[in-house]
Structure 1
Amino acid sequence: MVLVSESSEQMQNAGRLWHEHLDAPFPASLRGAEFGDTDMVLLDAETAGCVLTWLNNGGVLDAERTSILQGCIENLDRVIPQIAEPAGTQYYERLRQLAVLVARALSSTT
């Protein structure tokens, strides 16, 4: 019973954050930007793709996308401190928050 309500709450939180993310414009200064070998547009797309798949599949993510999501979290942790623009930092912090929420939800179901 606790897992169902916890899972439902995670889905609601992720859904709310997802809509905030969709409403936020991509930071213009990060279009085409790379930090090390991480392309910021690609990092956004990969992370968002995993989150959207998880939301659309009712909280389920296949092993390949779970692995991709973990890599995205590691990249986000590495690049966020390098973003100089506050709007860019906020954009990627929210994306990281979404990714971590999904990863935690996945780890609580295994």
Structure 2
Amino acid sequence: MQPDIEIYLKECTPEQAGKWLAQVFEQCTEWQPLGQVLRCRCDGIRVAWYGRVAGSWSSLLFDSSRTPWANDLECAQAAYAALGVEVRCAPGGWQEEQGENGADDWLRVDADGVSQVVWRI
């Protein structure tokens, strides 16, 4: 299990993401703004929405290892299946000692399935 889960959704609104979260979790609070970030809690898990972090891409971060998904890719696939928007995620956990190696390597989930892409955000 990863310590957290983060995915990037293309052209997705926090309202769309919130509806998906309400289907996945038993209890989700409403989005609460904190500066430029929206936050909520889903079954006790802290969730953050960072809108438009890279063009039309927004970040959805689950600050817990107790999510329904074992890793970012499982979450990205579930998000794509529910929302129908392109989703990107890191191919695996990242450690600070890795430096910049592989920093631009991402996984894309879309109608064609899962593919590797180079993405410089």
- Higher fraction of helix: 1
Tell me the TM-score normalised to structure 2 length.
0.27
Q: Which has the higher contact order (CA 8 A, sep 6+)?
A: 1
Tell me the TM-score normalised to structure 1 length.
0.28
- Higher fraction of strand: 2
